[in-house]
Amino acid sequence: MDDHRLARILGWVTIGAGLSLCAAPAPLMNAFGMGERPNLGRFLGARDLVIGAGLLLQGQNTAAWVRARGIADALDGVLILGGAATGAFRRDRAPIGLAAAAGSSALSLWLTRRL
């Protein structure tokens, strides 16, 4: 598969995640172990919408937008890890969110190197 096509697919997935977080933040935040924090969910959703739009525009800065996706996901992992360590987030759900953040971040940073 072409790397730019993979970046475009990543853009659509990011848009979908952003729309989901903006429309129904509480269930998704709970699923990833961040508890009932709808405002945080909406903020993360808006961030994903911006990054997803940047990925779909596919200008000369595709690698920069993919890198932004990877960094944002890595920061999500840090947020989940910190919240679980301090007791702000549910520890039993944190591994789910951490695994999703780490996997998505690794994919994005791998793709950045290929673009």
Structural domain of 13: 3-114
Question: d(Cα 99, Cα 53) in Å, to the nearest integer?
Answer: 24
Q: What pLDDT is stored for residue 90 in this prediction?
A: 87
The answer to which of 34-43, 57-66, 80-89 has the lowest mean pLDDT is 57-66
Q: Token match 């970046």: residue?
A: 7
pLDDT tens for each residue of 55-83: 998 777 899 999 999 999 999 999 999 99
pLDDT (tens digit per residue) in 7-16: 999 999 999 9
User: Rounded CA gap, 50 and 64, in Å?
Assistant: 13
Number of domains in the chain: 1
